[in-house]
């Protein structure tokens, strides 16, 4: 099979990531279709975040191949700055901590990357920003500074900022785990709408109810490997491995 294929937006083949003395991601293969919503779950330290960060090369794999959209990378070779830029433009990333610029208004936080990276004029960028603020239900906050917003609002701004570069896939790294539960719900509501609109999304999460409701496919990782994957029905309600069963039981006991 060709590594770039119009049906797939992200393909990982034989990916290995090693930190000094630690093999964090082991021989992972993963193909993600356009419009698919993937939830990656598993115990802490399983390698979920490392795998997600490999997709836009925030982590550099030791070996393997990666394609995102039309771009294909042999990760054992150093990427050129131009390749990295293509990759970063194709992927929108939302982190656990929102990473907004504190000295800029919400509008500027979302418009500036569009001007810098996509060469949009200020008027074009602000028009797109207004649309996106509407989408995350914060149209009235364009001129506020991040410190005046709740964590849930800041995370919704971070989502709007990532969407502003028109990525082909959105990557979410535990987007609600720094938030109080009710603020997390606002963020999950925005993500649910994005999924409904057909955005390809890969979400590392502990929100099992959200994964069960929104994900097309749930991937369970443990010790750096994918140990089980399938529909939420298969994986969450009827897991095939004892390891997965234990993981969900432990989470449900905590909730």
Give the footprint of ligand ADP on this chain (CB under 6 A). Answer: 19, 22, 24, 42, 44-50
Q: Per the structure block, which two tokens stand in for 91?
A: 């992927």
**Residue 13 CA: distances (Å) to CA of 25, 33, 68, 93, 223:** 12, 15, 12, 21, 18
Among residues 19 and 101, whose Cβ is nearest to ligand ADP? 19
CB 118 within 8 A of CB 165: yes
Closest to 114 (Cα-Cα) out of 98, 130, 103: 130
Angle between helices 151-163 and 106-118 (to 10 degrees): 20
- How far apart are CB 51 and ligand ADP at their closest, in Å? 7
Report the residue number, 110 or 179, with the smaller CB distance to ligand ADP: 179
Closest distance to ligand ADP from the beta carbon of 21 (Å)? 8
Residue 110: φ, ψ to 5° = -90, -30
- Identity of the residue, 138 or 219, whose beta carbon is nearer to ligand ADP in the bound complex: 219
Query: Least distance from C-beta 222 to ligand ADP, angstroms?
Result: 9
Minimal distance in Å, beta carbon 103 to ligand ADP?
A: 28
What is d(CA 111, CA 160) in angstroms, rounded to the nearest whole number?
A: 10
Q: Which is nearer to ligand ADP, 23 or 192 (by Cβ)?
A: 23
Whole-number minimum distance, CB 6 to ligand ADP, in Å? 30
Q: Which is nearer to ligand ADP, 48 or 156 (CB)?
A: 48
Three-state DSSP class for 94? strand
């Amino acid at each position: 099979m060709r590594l770039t294929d119009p049906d797939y937006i992200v393909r990982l083949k034989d990916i290995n990531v090693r930190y000094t003395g630690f093999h964090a991601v082991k021989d992972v293969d993963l193909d993600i279709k356009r419009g698919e919503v993937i939830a990656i779950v598993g115990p802490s330290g399983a390698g979920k975040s490392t795998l997600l960060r490999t997709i836009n090369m925030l982590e550099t794999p030791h070996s393997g191949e990666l394609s995102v959209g039309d771009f294909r990378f042999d990760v054992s070779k150093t990427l050129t700055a131009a390749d990295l830029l293509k990759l970063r433009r194709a992927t929108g990333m939302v982190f656990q901590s929102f990473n907004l610029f504190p000295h800029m208004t919400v509008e500027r936080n979302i418009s500036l990357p569009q001007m810098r990276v996509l060469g949009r004029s200020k008027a074009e960028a602000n028009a797109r920003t207004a649309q996106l603020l509407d989408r995350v239900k914060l149209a009235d906050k364009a001129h506020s500074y991040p410190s005046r917003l709740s964590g849930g609002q800041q995370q919704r701004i971070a989502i709007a900022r990532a969407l502003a570069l028109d990525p082909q896939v959105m990557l979410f790294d535990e987007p609600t785990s720094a938030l109080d539960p009710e603020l997390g719900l606002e963020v999950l509501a925005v993500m649910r709408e994005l999924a409904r609109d057909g955005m390809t999304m890969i979400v590392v999460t502990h929100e099992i109810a959200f994964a069960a409701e929104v994900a097309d496919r749930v991937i369970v990782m443990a010790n750096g490997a994918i140990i089980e994957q399938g529909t939420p029905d298969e994986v969450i309600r009827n897991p095939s491995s004892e390891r997965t069963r234990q993981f969900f039981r432990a989470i449900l006991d905590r909730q």
